[in-house]
Structure formats: C-alpha cells, structure tokens
Amino acid sequence: MQRVRLRYTKRGRLRFTSHRDFQRAFERALRRAEVPMAYSAGFTPHPKVSYANAAPTGTGSEAEYLEIALTQQRDPEALRALLDECMPTGLDIIDAVEARGSDFSDRLQASEWELRFEGVSPQEAARAADTFLAAESVEVKRQTKKGIRAFDARAAVRTLVPAGGTGQGAPANRADRPGDAACAILRLVVRHVTPAVRPDDVLSGLRATADLAPPVPTAVTRLAQGPLDEETGTVTDPFAPDRDALSGPTGSGDLPSVATVRGGTA
Amino acid sequence: MPVESVFPQLEALLPHVQKPIQYVGGELNSTVKDWEETDVRWALMYPDAYEVGLPNQGVMILYEVLNEREGVLAERTYSVWPDLEKLMREHGVPQFTVDAHRPVGAFDVFGVSFSTELGYTNLLTALELADIPLESKDRTVDHPIVMAGGHAAFNPEPVADFIDVAVIGDGEQAVLEVSEIIRAWKAEGRPGGRDELLLRLAKTGGVYVPRFYDVEYLPDGRISRVIPNRSGVPWRVSKHTVMDLDEWPYPKQPLVPLAETVHERMSVEIFRGCTRGCRFCQAGMITRPVRERSITGIGDMVDKGLKNTGFEEVGLLSLSSADHSEIGDIAKGLADRYEEDKVGLSLPSTRVDAFNIDLANELTRNGRRSGLTFAPEGGSERIRKVINKMVSEEDLIRTVATAYGNGWRQVKLYFMCGLPTETDEDVLQIGDMAVNVIAKGREVAQSNDIRCTVSIGGFVPKPHTPFQWAPQLSAEETDVRLGKLRDKIRGDKKYGRSIGFRYHDGKPGIVEGLLSRGDRRVGAVIREVYERGGRFDGWREYFSYDLWMRSAAATLPQQGVDVDWYTTRERTYEEVLPWDHLDSGLDKDWLWEDWQDALDETEVPDCRWDPCFDCGVCPQLDLDIQVGPTGKKLLPLTVVK
C-alpha cells in the first residue's frame, strides 16, 4: 500500500466551500480519476483519506493537506496533476509527496495567515497589531457547541506584522475583488494549540484591544502550515521530511526546506 | 450593453449567511458562456433552495440543451434564503444567476420550473429582487419574458398575473422553438415590442399567454367561459411531447454541486409517462403516453454520466421504474458492469405488484438491505378500487414475505388520507395492513427485529385527473381521521411498537389544494401572502397556514368565493374548469367517465398490456406508446488499465 500526501488550495469564490463539501468533491474526483484507492474494511467501505486541520469555511487557503492510501503504486506528481484536473478550479491540488513516517499531523505545528483589511490604512493596522502584541493576554469569546466560551488569543500568536498593503498589487487570485483605496495586510503566524486560536479569534482580539473594525469582512488566507522555526518565526514545509527521506541515501540533500508558496500569494 | 457580474457586491454579504457555498456556482459541468457572443439568453430558475433545486432534472436538462445551441446562453438561479434576501435588499444586490452572477433582469427569458404550487411565493420574491415588475401588465420591452413550466404549469391560472407565458409538457424541443422566435424578433429590431413577441409565441399554439385570454364568471362565482381576446390566438393550448427519448440523452453531463443537496446521485430517466391509471396521480395523467428509453441508451447515459460526475449511486427514474419492459436486463447489466466499482443502483417508485426479488437482489448486490418502500396508497381493498391502484393485500404480503425472507428488515408503506368516498374504516385498515406485514415478517425472518413504517399524507385533488371534480377533505376531518389511525396503531400491544407512524397534518394540503385548482382570483391571495412575508411554503419552518387563511379572507370574499369553495366543494360535469383551455391531450369526457368509474369502484387496466381505453392522448396528439422490449443486452465495458 502506497500513501501519498497532497497539498491543496481553497481559492477565490471556492473559499466558501466547507470541509464537508470539499470531502465530497474530493472523493468524487478520486472516482472520476479512477485512482486505485484503498478502502476501509467494514459494512460501508470508505476510501482511505485522512484530512489534516482544515481551514474554516469562508477563509482562503494555499496550504491544506490530506493523505490518501492506494492499492497500487502511482507517481505522486502524475497523480497530483490528474486529481487537479478532476477538481474544480480554485480547489487546486498543488503539491504531492510519497509519505514517509506517520507523524504528519505532528508536523503541522503552526499556520501562517494573511489578513487583508479593505478600507483600513496600513498605519492603522500596524498600530492595532502592536497594541495586540503588547497585551499580556487577550481574552476573546467564541460560540461553540457548548455555548459561549472565553479563552486567550494572545499566547498562541508568534508573529503579527504588517506585510505591505496600501491597495496596490492585489494578488492574482483576488482579481474578483475591487482593488482600490486603502487596504492593509497583516501576516499572522499562530501556533496550533488547544483550544485552537483561529484567525477570527485574532480579529476579535484586534477589535477588543485596538478598536480595529474594518468596514468590510476581512479576507483571510492561510499561506502556509507546518513545523514552526521558533527563532525566525517561519513556518516551514511539512513535506520536507518526506522529500529528505526520498533523496536520503543518494544524498543530493539540496531540496528546499522552506515551503515554496505557489499561486502568487507569497 | 455589457452585463457586469454582481459577485463583488454579493461576496461581501456571504460571510454573514448560512451555507454561502450555495451561492457561488462553479459546479463541475456548469457552463459560463460569453454574453456578447449569444443573442438569446435564458435565466432558469427552480423556485426553492439550491439544495432542492440543483438536482432537479428538468432544469438540468434544459440548461444543457440550451447551452449546447450556438448563440443561446442559459444560466441558473435559485431561491435565496431569507438571511441573504434581507442583506440583498439592504445592499441593493439583485437576484443573480449562480453561473456568472449576472442579474436575472438582464436576460431575455426568466424560465421558472414549478414542480409544486408551493413555489409561487418564491417566484414573487425572485421577481422583486430582480427588479422585474410583479405583474405582467407592468413590464416593458426591456424586461425578461417570465415563463412558467413544470407540472404545476398545467394550471397556471393562479399565477396568470405574474407570468407572461406558460409552456406545458416536455421542455426539450419547446425551449429551442421559443429561442428561435425570440432570436428572429430581436434580429428584426424587436418590432411591436413585448406585445408582438408574446403574440408570435401564442400563435404557435404551444405557448399559453394568459393576458390574451379573458375569463368571464357566472353570478355564483363559477367560470362561464375563457375566450381569446385577439385574433390568431388559439382557443386551446397544447402540451409538448418528446417522442424518442434516445434522441434526447440529457443530462449528458449532470451538474455536480459542491454544496450538499437532497439527491447525491446521478439520475437517468428510463421512461417518461405512465398508464397505470392511478386516478389521484397528476403526473401519470399529464405525461402520457409512455415512452421508454432503450436499454442501450440507458447503459450509455449511465456510463458517460458516471465518468463525468464521479457519483456513487445511479437512480433509475420514472413514475414506476419496475414497469420498464426490460428492467430485469437493465438492472442485471448495470450491476454486472459496476460490481467492482462500488456503484449503487436505486429504483425509486417501485410498485408492489411489479417488485420481484431477482430485481431487488441485483439492485442491492453492492449494498445493504436496509429498507424497501412501497405505496399501496389506500388501506382497504375498496378504496384501492376507487383510486385504481390495483394492488391486493395478498400481493403486498407475498412481496414483503419474500423481502423479509431475503434479508430485508424494514418496509416503508406510503398512504393517502382524504381520498374520494373514504371513510374512517378505509383508513383504519391501514393499521391492520401494517400488523399483517409485521406478523408475516416475524414469521418469515424468525425474528422480532422487523419494522414497518407507515407514512401518510393528505390527498389533494389535481387538475387534469379524474379527481379534478372531487371534494377535498377538510384539514380538520383529515386530522381527526389520522388521529384515529394513530391511536389504533399505538394501542396495539403486540405489534404497535414495531410500527412507525409518520403523518402530516391536513393544513398544508388545503393551501396546496387552493393553489392546485385555483383560478385567476387566487393570484390576489398569493400576492397578499407574499407581501405579508410568506416564503418557502414547502418548508415546515416557514409555512404558515394562518398567514394563508388570513390573506385569503382579505382577498377572496369580495370576489364571492372562499377557500372552501376552491377546496372542499365538489364540481359538476357542466362546470368550466380554470384549466380547460390547456390541453393535456386527455379527453375531458374520458376523465369524467373515469371519475364515475371511481365512484362505482370500477377498475381500469393499463393500456400497455390491455387494449386502449380511449383516454384521448394518442389520437389527440397523433402519438403512440413507445415501449420495448428491444431484445438487446448491456455488454460489459472494456476495462482500460
């Protein structure tokens, strides 16, 4: 049995896809692509697919991950191209490796997010970020199944810094948005902790600590997910160990260990 | 004039609504054509939520048929939920299509498919959001032609003020004919404006334009006559019938939504029409004659459709699927082909007497034997003769015995309450039938783990059926009768706990009855309900009986009628019915005879296996039934590895 890990996106209008919606679409794509899937045993066999840490409905992502189990050997890149072809544009399969080790979910230690504030000046956003970071803790509330729950959104945040903005140079996948006037962009690196701190929680925290209240919904995109380099605050490529293992004995060793973010959002 | 996408404005609203994915489009196999390269543009609507509307076969077929035609564009639109409706009104976002998010008001035709009358208020919501005047008389040459289709369009009179045209019957060829007429009229520079276009459509004899007909009433409220009010308009408008289904293998590329919908499967229509002659069944009456798709045509559609969609289940659709002349070979052939692929087959609408165990075994080769569903419709032998559902209790018991003996553990039975001539005793016999089913099941399966679910709804008399003259049972009487049945089932100590009982109260049926057999005067009620906030009447959480009754009380009395007049009143032979000028092919005298046969408890057989009984459809429309067998078999597909 071969296991292949895939990286996929949720771009443009398809960022409104929920995780359940994605699962159905992906499993249909597996059937259309006639991928030789391994099935679970039992009364109603299911294709073996493991999903890691899906982004919330409505947020874009350049870095979602899943793993599939196959009954026959396939070239990961050929498989990636085939599946990408079978998925709707926006839900794009952009990277693949043959799995090594079973610690994949442990590698996803942190996420890097882009927070895009239309109608907010970069100065205002930078000031809000500073206020947020200066706080010892930032209590936010979120509606959960068990009712409203309060927790700290500050401790999990590793980085919250301005990343350009002013309204020009809108990334290609945002072409459907009016690109005018003031626009601020913040880059957020947040550790995966329990309870999870989501970008929404950080936005609530920005509102609570610095009165940052954008006139239109903030566009949130996950740029990367993987091991966190605590010193630099960089989120690195979770596929690196798989690639290293692959190239191990021959020792070319020259593969990049930092995620190359495709799709022009880097 | 270029038409801009409204998506940027819509996108800002989506984070604030439930299930935003339903509004973004981008489904697999959807089509976006260049606006400027086309000259006839259709916005097709199913007037319910996306999750119900997307799988609708009618809309899917017309969408593909139209988009395949050069110069013609079709996009889809669905009802938006009240949370988005509110935001769209606040922010001035118009009703949009999900394909390219173009405003519905910019299209040439706004075609709405009514499977049920309960979508009428949603039509008004969509019109107002689209900035199209609610009433036909207020529209100009720049507004789309508002067209109604679907089964409810066989009596479009309650929405006559709101639509411009109605087309009855099969849509495949009709939409292309209409497209050509619009294309020519536009190419000529739209001579004579909207009126001229409507007249050209009406003159075909197959497009009903309500405003070209005047309705006159008698002092007692009944209709005296319906007459064309200008020359060239036919007295009666004919339904459309597609004869060779193999020539129309649609949908070839079924839409695959990202959002979850009510039917997550690929559907292939294996035949159209039904001549079983169940007297309550409007679908069986208005879709005659029977036209089968060939076994090879079906195999081809399933093969291509599965490749194009990746669905895991294939539904073989029709009004009574086990009646296809080659159903055994179809089921076996498909089960053989897809045995390895974990594709499930389902056969909705199976008759008790057409069920056979070999067929059921083929259908469940890959899956579980959880439940079987049958629809005896009536609890007593007598009432089943009245409705011409020729199934005996012995048939049913024999069938369920076989099923329980072959591993099934659950049987669902569908019934109706309020059928013509029905008494409490007819309904109470449903309980006896369920007990007999359980007793037989326990005996055959040697187990007490046997269930039977009785599901029962109120009967609504429909136009173009032998029961179109029948009185509808009032909501109160329906509820009393159902209560007696419930008490009887619950009171049964030995079997009661093995019998599930599901029922709807009689109130929604009365509103459906008002809309089904209503005339133009009912339009005022619909508008009143809409203006008082009525929406999504097919949904329990939105439907308000009180709102409908209050609105009816505010609008109908000044016209000398009321809700009872439309629902519980029996009609006589002489009465002009609101839909008499819409020709479903059925001979009104035959329908009346069949109504009299019903009252005499006389059954009428099926013309596929017995001689013709002169319902009128074939000679009227110059057609014939089209049934097999072809004698062909489904060959295994070549496996490419």
State which residues form the domain around B83.
Answer: 8-212
d(CA B65, CA B29): 13
Which of A8, A13, A15, A71 is the best residue to mutate to test the B interface, defined by the most B CB atoms within 10 Å of its own CB?
A13
| A53 & A80 share domain | yes
Choose from A10, A30, A31 for mutation: most chain B CBs within 10 A.
A31
- Domain of residue A46: give its range: 2-107+238-247
Judged by a CB distance cut-off of 8 A, whether residue B11 touches chain A is yes
- Residues listed for chain B: 641
- Candidates A16, A45, A88; nearest CB to B342: A45
Are A102 and A139 contained in the same domain?
Answer: no
Q: pLDDT tens, B345-367?
A: 888 767 777 677 778 888 777 66
Q: What is B452-466 written as a DSSP string?
A: EEEEEEE----TTSG
β partners of residue B271? B292
The torsion angles phi and psi of B347, rounded to 5 degrees, stand at -130, 85
SS3 B344: strand
pLDDT in tens, A45-100: 889 999 999 999 999 999 999 999 999 999 999 999 999 999 999 999 999 999 99
Q: Flag whether residue B313 sits within 8 Å of chain A, measured between CB atoms.
A: no
Are A69 and A131 part of one and the same domain? no
Distance separating alpha carbons of residues B516 and B460, to the nearest angstrom: 8
Name the residue facing A177 among B8, B27, B307 (closest C-beta).
B8
Integer Cα distance of B243 and B207 in angstroms = 19
Do the domain assignments include residue A253? no
- Cβ of A14 within 8 Å of Cβ of B26? The answer is yes
- Residue B602 tokens read as 């006389």
Which helix H or strand E contains B415, and what residues bound it? strand B410-417
What is the spatial distance between Cα B358 and Cα B336, in angstroms, rounded to a whole number?
14
Q: B161 in a domain, yes or no?
A: yes
Q: Which two tokens stand for residue A121?
A: 């000046």
**Residue B48, φ and ψ in degrees, nearest 5:** -150, 180
- Specify if A264 maps to a domain: no
Decide if A90 and B368 are in contact by the 8 Å CB cutoff.
no
Contacts 24+ apart (CB under 8 A), B549-552: B551/B525, B552/B514, B552/B525, B552/B528
Same domain, A153 and A134: yes
Give the phi and the psi of residue B38 in degrees, each rounded to 5.
-125, 155
Q: B20 and A58 in contact by Cβ < 8 A?
A: yes
Residues A134 and A225 in one domain: yes
The secondary element (H helix, E strand) that includes residue A164 is strand A157-165
Option in A20, A58, A177 nearest B260 (CB): A20
In a domain, A260, yes or no: no
Q: What is the pLDDT of residue B369?
A: 65
Same domain, A230 and A242: no
Helix ranges (H only) for B339-451 are: 357-363, 381-386, 393-405, 424-445
**Is B260 in contact with A21 (Cβ distance < 8 A)?**
yes
What's the CA angle centered on B71, arms B67 and B75, to 5 degrees?
Answer: 40
Ordered mean pLDDT values, 10 residues apiece, chain B (641 residues)? 89 94 94 96 98 97 98 98 98 98 98 97 98 98 98 98 98 98 98 97 97 97 97 96 95 94 92 95 96 96 93 91 91 88 79 75 70 88 94 88 84 94 97 94 90 94 98 97 95 93 93 98 98 96 97 96 98 98 96 97 90 88 82 70 41
* Residues 6 or more apart whose Cβ sits within 8 Å of residue B487: none
Task: Indicate whether A127 and A213 sit together in one domain.
Answer: yes
DSSP annotation of A263 reads S
Considering only the beta carbons, identify the residue of A14, A16, A28 that sits closest to B256.
A28
* Residue A18 with chain B: CB contacts under 8 Å: 19, 21
The nearest alpha carbon in chain A to B258 belongs to: A21
Q: Is residue B37 part of a domain?
A: yes
Residue A90 lies in a domain: yes
Does residue B149 form part of some domain?
Answer: yes
- What's phi and psi for A5, nearest 5 deg? -100, 135
- Which chain B residue has its CA at the smallest distance from A88's CA? B28
Q: Which helix (H) or strand (E) holds A81?
A: helix A76-86
Predicted confidence at residue A45, as pLDDT, reads 80
Which residues, listed in sequence order, are joined to residue B323 by a DSSP beta bridge? none
Cβ-Cβ contacts under 8 Å for B566 (sequence gap 6 or more): B513, B514, B517, B518, B522
Residue A242 belongs to a domain: yes
CA angle A79, A85, A86 (to 5 degrees): 90
Is A17 within 8 Å of B21 when comparing Cβ atoms? yes
B525 part of a folded domain: no
Residues A119 and A92 in one domain: no
Nearest CB to A13: which of B15, B26, B28? B26
C-alpha pair distances (Å), B339 with each of A44, B267, B342, B343 = 15, 18, 6, 7
Number of CB pairs < 8 Å for A and B? 74
pLDDT score for B594: 97
Which chain B residues are closer than 8 Å to A88 by Cβ? 26-28, 258
- The answer to whether residues A25 and A47 belong to one domain is yes
Closest chain A residue to B306, measured at CA: A32
* Size of chain A, expressed as the number of residues it contains: 266
Q: Residue B370 class from Cβ within 10 Å (0-12 exposed, 13-18 middle, 19+ buried)?
A: exposed
Question: Which residue in the set B24, B27, B260 is minimally distant from A16, CB to CB?
Answer: B24
- Supply the pLDDT for residue B641: 41
Q: How many domains does chain B have?
A: 1
Residue A56 sits in a domain whose CATH number is 3.30.70.580
Q: What are phi and psi of A132, to 5 degrees?
A: -60, -50
Q: How far apart are CA B156 and CA B170, in angstroms?
A: 16
Closest CA to A109 of A232, A230, A255: A230
**Cβ-based neighbours of B416, under 8 Å, separated by 6 or more:** B280, B377, B378, B456, B457, B458, B459
CA B319 to chain centre: 11
Q: Quick one: A181 and A72 in the same domain?
A: no
Number of domains in chain A: 2
CA distance A225 to chain B (A): 23
Show which of residues 478-517 on chain B sit within 8 Å of chain A, judged by CB atoms.
none
Whether A88 and A122 share a structural domain = no
Q: Which of A173, A196, A176 is nearest to A94 (CA)?
A: A173
The answer to whether the CB of B404 falls within 8 A of the CB of B371 is no
Please state, in angstroms and rounded to a whole number, the distance separating the CA atoms of residues B213 and B383: 39
Instruction: Report chain B residues whose CB lies below 8 A from the CB of A14.
Output: 24, 26, 258
Q: How many CB atoms lie within 10 A of CB A154?
A: 20
Nearest CB neighbour to B8, from listed A17, A22, A178: A178
Backbone angles phi, psi at B553, to 5 degrees: -65, -25
Domain membership of residue B198 (yes or no) is yes
Give dist(CA B193, CA B9) in Å, integer: 33
Mutation to test the A interface, candidates B21, B51, B342, most A Cβ within 10 Å: B21
- Asked if A57 and B21 come within 8 Å (Cβ–Cβ), the reply is yes
Q: With beta carbons under 8 A apart, name residues in chain A contacting B31.
A: none
CATH number, domain at B70? 3.40.50.280
Question: What gap in Å lies between CA B148 and CA B145, rounded to an integer?
Answer: 10
Distance from CA of A30 to the nearest CA of B (A): 8
Which of A159, A158, A161, A142 lies closest to A204 in space, CA to CA? Answer: A142
Domain-embedded: residue B219 = no
The answer to whether the CB atoms of A32 and B310 lie below 8 A apart is yes
Pick the closest to residue A111 from A71, A28, A52 (CA basis).
A52
User: Residue A252: inside a domain, yes or no?
Assistant: no
Mutate to test the interface with B, among A9, A11, A24 (most CBs of B within 10 A): A24
Contact call for A176 and B19, based on CB within 8 A: no
DSSP per position, A174-202? GTTS---S-EEEEEEEEE--SSPPPHHHH
DSSP per residue over B55-81, as a string?
A: T-HHHHHHHHHHHHSTTEEEEEEEEPP
ipTM: 0.84
> With an 8 Å Cβ cutoff, is B312 touching chain A?
yes
Percent of chain A with pLDDT over 70: 87
What is the phi/psi pair of residue B149, to 5°?
-140, -170
Q: Do A43 and B368 touch (CB under 8 A)?
A: yes
Regions in chain A scoring below 70 on pLDDT: 165-180, 248-266
If you ran DSSP here, which 8-state letter would residue B472 be given?
A: P
pLDDT for B611 equals 87
Q: What angle do CA B290, B292, B293 make, to 5 degrees?
A: 155
CA-based nearest distance A41→chain B, Å? 13
Which residue of B9, B10, B11 is the best one to mutate when testing the A interface, meaning the one whose CB has the most A CBs within 10 A?
B11
* A148 plus A171 within the same structural domain: yes
How distant is the Cα of A101 from the closest Cα of chain B, in angstroms?
A: 30
Nearest to A116 by CA among A184, A216, A167: A184
Q: What angle do CA B513, B515, B520 make, to 5 degrees?
A: 135
Considering the domain boundaries, does residue B491 fall inside one? Answer: no
Written in H, E and C, the secondary structure of A197-255 is: CCHHHHHHHHHHHHCCCCCCCCEEEEEEEECEECCCCEECCCCHHHHHHHHCCCCCCCC
pLDDT for B400 equals 86
User: Would you state the structure tokens that stand for residue A181, as one six-digit string?
Assistant: 């006037």
